[in-house]
Amino acid sequence: MPLMFLNGTAMSGGADHHLVGDAPLVTRTTTAPRYRFHAVGGRYPALEDVGHGGAAVHGEVYDMSYEQLREVLLPGEPDGLELGVIELADGTGSLAMILRREYAQLPPLTDISAQASWRAYQERV
């Protein structure tokens, strides 16, 4: 089954964690330090791969079935995100929702890379 990195409201304790279903938590980790982390319109987080000079963003990795991804998690994601592959801190890859590369109606982005955590950002707003 595919590994899925979550870094927003679908993480454990989050409002959308029910979208994970019974998928087991594999690990709590960070991304490799190659991502800018944004709050999109203040409503949800988004990773943007910038290569060198990014932040290591906190999240959780789940072992999800393709059915859970296709039927439940992905349909619940905002339009400003797309499915991509990211690099984790240990150099392995994982699926994740990333900032849509071209999206004309994307709300304003706030760079929250310094917090590197959606929960930390939410506690500050």
Q: What tens digit of pLDDT does each residue of 39-92 get? A: 999 999 999 999 988 999 999 999 999 999 999 999 999 888 999 999 999 999
> Can you tell me the distance from the alpha carbon of 98 to that of 107, in angstroms, rounded to the nearest whole number?
15
* Domains: count for the chain: 1
The pTM score is 0.93
Q: So what's the pLDDT on residue 105?
A: 75
Distances in whole angstroms, Cα of residue 24 to Cα of each of 30, 58, 62, 82, 92: 18, 18, 6, 22, 18
Q: So what's the pLDDT on residue 1?
A: 83
Q: So what's the pLDDT on residue 21?
A: 94
Give the domain extent around 20: 3-124
Domain of 81, CATH number, reads: 3.10.490.10
DSSP β-bridge partners for residue 36: 48
Average pLDDT over residues 3-29: 96
Q: So what's the pLDDT on residue 79?
A: 85
Average pLDDT over residues 4-15: 95
DSSP β-bridge partners for residue 63: 3
